[in-house]
Chains A and B, each alone.
Chain A
Amino acid sequence: MIPEIPVSTLEAASDLIAEAIDKAGPEKETLFLAKLALALSAYLNDVATVRIAIKAALADLGGSDRA
């Protein structure tokens, strides 16, 4: 399971990402999210955690769930 952190922290991060997605715009939001994932991977410096997060994020995408 992904750890539960204080809701205020998670909420602040979620808002920041939401505003950044809007700022990137529909054309570039995918590239933006890819860059964000790469940058956070560098901060984490831990492939095992990246793999767990990817697996969790791929689950329940709706429609064609191939996780």
Chain B
Amino acid sequence: MAVVGAGPTGLLTAIGLARHGIRSVVLTQDVQVSHGSRAAVLIRRSMEILHRCGVVGPFVAKGLPWSSGRSFYRGQEVYRMAMPHEEGQRYKPATNVQQQYIEEYLSEAAEREPLIDLRWGSRVISFEQDSEEARLGVDTPEGAYTLRTSYVVAADGGRSDLRRILGLRMEGRAYAGRFVIADIRTDLPLPTERLCYFDPDWNPGNNVLVHRMPDQLWRIDFRLPDDETPDQALEPELLKQRIDLTLRMVGYPIPWTLDWATVYSASALTLPRYLHGRLAFVGDAAHLLPIFGVRGANTGIQDSDNLAWKLAYVLRGLGGPGLLESYSAERVEAAREICEEAGKSTRFMTPPSRGYRLMRDAALSFTLSETFTKDLLHWRTARPHDYRGSALNSDLEADAAFPSGPGCGAPVPDMRLADGSHLLDHLGSAFHLLCFGDGHSAGLRHLAEAARRARVPLRLVLLRSEGAPEAANYDVQVRDTGGEIARRFGAVPGSAYLVRPDGHVCARWLRPDPSALERALAIACATEEPMA
């Protein structure tokens, strides 16, 4: 396996592959981790994925968790939003940590991993493939060579060389309007939350975002006047003046130093297919998404989580070709939904025409005295995608019979358990069968027998009802005190959930029949052969 690109998405894909026992070479033209911030916010789902990959430690130590934001208009707080957070969820809805740390922590993890060969200073200059293999032409300071491999992951970023080499075009739209993103070092005595200022005196008609990050860094993000060029905007005097004005607006005109600044414009673009023979696109190489709603790195992390197990299963002969197709189908659909959602936030943050601007201003004007427009200020933060329509889901009738709980395609929620651990602590990189009740019902016994015969890694987890004794035949048993987990999953004694290696449900049964598991595993691995 070869992974091209050592940004968050490429590194995490290699780490994910290693967890499935797959060796990979990671090629990056950089010679060290990047400086400057770029991605700044990880959503809960990203933290859960990093947790499952065993690399979340430094992110928790460094990151600043947060869950709410405030929006201001004409000096008045007009909107306050708390992001959804269930009692017992381990991670806050968002954690602020700069991209250079994300890359540093993931490249350290990759360097420690014997199955990953991380090659800096290696630029991919050609790509060929046939039915036998893929060949990458790699240029290095020591000379060029050809790398032969079975599959290639294109994680080479927004300006992907591989996308260009294949001549692929993205679909969607780019938005007019440029933004300055500046990270400044200063000591603002403000909590970690999202601050948004619409139409401030110093930047009429535009908006300013302020985010706290680790190391006394603050990210400031504001739209430029339409006729201004990026060079003008980054001119030190003008930039300094605007940052001073921003700090005054926030209420603290204090000294600061500039860490990094760039000019950005929003796009909502995606390739229509992510799989091209032996080449799979992930992250910014596959899609370019607006920053509003923190969708870039978070979407890439979910891409890599979706792809890693599928590649590994195909390489190990456990999955059919449809498994890689499902990566493309599931993630393209996710990207399109994100483009649609992000487009709405982007239209509010950077109105693309006079009409949109006028209606945005009308809505804002009402926020000072009325409440009915305030939800238009909702910034629609990235959320985990629900693979509802996935070809890997099965037994949709059985799925529909559940009164509640995560349905086919949805991610399993992390929940605190009676012993202080969390549900995701018990879900590794295998398939998992979550069983409810005392573990002795006839249906579950049949599933347990089928599970013993499974060709794919499959672990049986019993969420044992209160008072029931230890049961035989389960890999993990956790007491479900008060039946809280069963309730959250809409389960009754004897119910079972089949969970994919990336933590998404692919089948569930209130009362499974004896052949249910075998069928569901074959569908989830896109194989004709029985998997159990």
- Residue of chain A at shortest CB distance from B372: A42
A14 at the binding interface (Cβ < 8 Å): no
16 contacting pairs across A/B (C-beta < 8 A): A31-B358, A31-B361, A31-B362, A31-B365, A34-B359, A34-B361, A35-B362, A35-B365, A35-B366, A38-B359, A38-B362, A38-B363, A38-B366, A38-B373, A39-B366, A39-B370
A49 at the binding interface (Cβ < 8 Å): no
Q: A35-B365, A35-B366 are in contact. Are A30 and B373 (CB under 8 A)?
A: no
Q: A35-B366, A39-B366 are in contact. Are A30 and B372 (CB under 8 A)?
A: no
Instruction: Enumerate chain B residues within 8 angstroms of A30, measured Cβ to Cβ.
Output: 358
Interface contact B372-A34, CB-CB below 8 Å: no
Instruction: Categorize the interface residue count of chain B.
Output: 10 to 19
Instruction: Enumerate chain B residues within 8 angstroms of A37, measured Cβ to Cβ.
Output: 362
Shortest distance in angstroms between A59's beta carbon and chain B's nearest beta carbon? 17
What does DSSP make chain B's interface, helix, strand, loop or mixed? helix
Complex CA–CA separation, A39 to B372 (angstroms): 9
Shortest distance in angstroms between A54's beta carbon and chain B's nearest beta carbon? 11
Instruction: Enumerate chain B residues within 8 angstroms of A42, measured Cβ to Cβ.
Output: 372
Which residues of chain A (14-59) have a CB below 8 Å from chain B? 30-31, 34-35, 37-39, 42
The 4 closest A-B pairs by CB, nearest first: A34-B362, A35-B362, A34-B358, A42-B372
Complex CA–CA separation, A46 to B372 (angstroms): 15
Instruction: Enumerate chain A residues within 8 angstroms of B366, measured Cβ to Cβ.
Output: 35, 38-39
- Residue of chain A at shortest CB distance from B370: A39
Using an 8 Å CB-CB cutoff, how does the interface string of B350-392 with A read, 1 for contact, 0 for none?
A: 0000000011011101100010110000000000000000000
Complex CA–CA separation, A39 to B362 (angstroms): 9
Instruction: Enumerate chain A residues within 8 angstroms of B362, measured Cβ to Cβ.
Output: 31, 34-35, 37-38
Which residues of chain B (270-303) have a CB below 8 Å from chain A? none
Task: Given contact pairs A31-B365, A34-B358, A35-B362, enumerate 19 new A-B contacts (beta carbons under 8 Å).
Answer: A30-B358, A31-B358, A31-B361, A31-B362, A34-B359, A34-B361, A34-B362, A35-B365, A35-B366, A37-B362, A38-B359, A38-B362, A38-B363, A38-B366, A38-B373, A39-B366, A39-B370, A39-B372, A42-B372
Shortest distance in angstroms between B15's beta carbon and chain A's nearest beta carbon? 46
Shortest distance in angstroms between A66's beta carbon and chain B's nearest beta carbon? 13
Instruction: Enumerate chain A residues within 8 angstroms of B365, measured Cβ to Cβ.
Output: 31, 35
Complex CA–CA separation, A30 to B358 (angstroms): 8
- Residue of chain B at shortest CB distance from A43: B372
Complex CA–CA separation, A31 to B362 (angstroms): 6
